[in-house]
Chains A and B, each alone.
Chain A
Amino acid sequence: MKKYKKIFLFSDFNLDLFNDFLENQLDKRKFKIVNSEYNQIDQFLRKSDLKKKEDNHILFQWISGNYFFKILKNNNYNKKYKKEFNNYIDEFIENTKKKSSIYEYILMPSITIDNNYRENNIFDLKKNMSEKNLIDEINFKLKKAFNKYNNIFIIDINNWIQNLGKKSFNRKMWYSAKIPYSFDFFKLAAQETVKIIDTLYLENKKLIILDLDNTLWGGILGDDGYDGINLGGHDPVGEAYQDFQRELLKLKQKGLILAICSKNNEKNVEEVFKKNKNMILRDKDFAIKKINWHDKAKNINEILNELNLKSNSAVFLDDSKHERERVKTVFDEIVVPDLPLNPMGFVDFILQQPLLNIKAQTKEDETKTKLYHDEAKRKKLKVKIKSNEDWLNELKIRVNVYLLNNQNLERTIQLLNKTNQFNLRTNRYSVGNFKKIYTINDNKIFIFEVTDKFGSAGIISIVGIFKKKKDFMSMIL
């Protein structure tokens, strides 16, 4: 049985160079590229008889601005063509949406203005029908249309263009081989695409365990005090630590759990959270804190147990090489990267970690830290009460049932794709194929949410019911 993932490249220009770079950089045991001839994109997009195959993994659909501009006959940017232009974009959007139920993921670089139109014209942003404004309009429409599709991703390639500037384009290659971008640009594009593909298929991490001194702030708290540590202010290093905290907060808001593992006096740390106004991360942002003088490996073990997480779902960040090595020797599955020696490199470092990228975000993800805080309260109560039955009664559990709707669709699919225990089929779904299969005939999907005296545990179970006969139904759990 083939185990590699197939990546299908489609474009309205020549992608051979990109194909070669991508092939060189991807792990050949895991991925195989299928490159179609360029200019087949219209036939492909309009083809309606495509069927879902098990090996339709990634559709990489790279469309140029020219694809849309061709509708403006001979570059006639007259308002009378605007309606036709908009219809053409809408048709492209609808055809791409249809493909979302056929492919596991669709990756689409944002549409960019072609080199031919790159002028510093003061009217670029004034005229409604200028190329620049039309490109912005296309990208806005695409972003809006695909926002709710959790398997369609638009990649902002302006970052790549900014990186290489004018060297991104090569007019000679365009005229001779219909290759609009330069050799270096495709090389960079392939590097970035590999990172994105890794994000899609690597098991994302769930927990970041953080040291404090010289990791979240500069200096030693025990020596410098809450108001003497280097954080924010007008100090370049202090600002770098503060920005690092901002990035960590963003990751927490995306659903990653933050924990502290630090050799410090707990009271001193409490003082920082209460009194240091430059702190971006607050006490409530951490699901669990182990602040003591014990061995860090022991503390990490306790963190994992209390959060009910495996070591392969955690990342440990500490400025001390000695502590990192200690943790590595005990937990070979925890990711323990070497932080840059200069804290001014911390933000770039964290932004470049594909393991910390989150593919889809649900309402539950945003409140995950609160869920862990509530869970800690339940455990505390259990220790106090001792009898399991009395504990369950004391929790005052309620199970609420809802029918599947657009509000709970993302979490429903996330749960079906993540859970194995009590999952009767372990089929995995995208939004498109889930809707196709489960919203037909008399099939009903029920969503179960659990609440108790400490709060809501969110959506925890899904049951699909299929009425086979009048008095008979089949269900998945």
Chain B
Amino acid sequence: MSCRVFGREIEFGILHCITKIAKKENIETIEFDYKKTKKN
């Protein structure tokens, strides 16, 4: 996510959109595929 919108709780809005998409597609489980790197 771009740092220009940090601190405006946008991440909640994005997750809300994702869950709505998942519901529409009858998805029950969402997995966050996190790979730890030196930068994140």
Contacts and interface: CB of A to CB of B under 8 A. Distances in A.
Highest count of chain A CB atoms <10 Å: which of B4, B13, B17: B4
A425 B14 contact: no
A397 B39 CA distance: 29
Given A475-B30, A477-B14, A457 B39 contact: no
Interface string A439-477: 000000010101000000111110101111011111111
Contact of B5 (A401, A425, A450, A477): A450
A352 interface: no
Given A415-B2, A419-B1, A446-B21, A461 B14 contact: yes
Contacts of A472: 27-29, 31
Given A461-B1, A472-B28, A426 B39 contact: yes
Given A426-B39, A463-B14, A471 B34 contact: no
Nearest to A442: B25
B8 A395 contact: yes
Given A371-B4, A421-B1, A450 B10 contact: yes
Contacts, number: 106
Contacts of A12: none
A424 B35 contact: yes
B39 A420 contact: yes
B37 A473 contact: no
A448 B33 CA distance: 19
Contacts of A175: none
A165 B32 CA distance: 59
Contacts of B33: 424-425, 466, 474-476
Contacts of A415: 2
Contacts of B22: 473
Given A392-B9, A457-B5, A461-B1, A420 B17 contact: no
Contacts of B10: 397, 399, 448, 450, 460-461
A473 B30 contact: yes
Given A473-B31, A475-B30, A460 B13 contact: no
Interface string A97-119: 00000000000000000000000
A424 B22 CA distance: 19
A457 B6 CA distance: 11
A358 B31 CA distance: 36
Contacts of B13: 397, 399, 448, 450
| Most-contacted residue by chain A among B1, B21, B25, B27 (CB, 10 A) | B1
B3 A419 contact: yes
Nearest to B17: A401
Given A424-B34, A450-B13, A475-B32, 8 more contacts: A308-B3, A308-B4, A392-B8, A446-B18, A448-B10, A461-B14, A465-B21, A473-B27
Instruction: List 3 A-B pairs, minimum CB-CB distance, nearest first.
Output: A422-B1, A399-B13, A460-B2
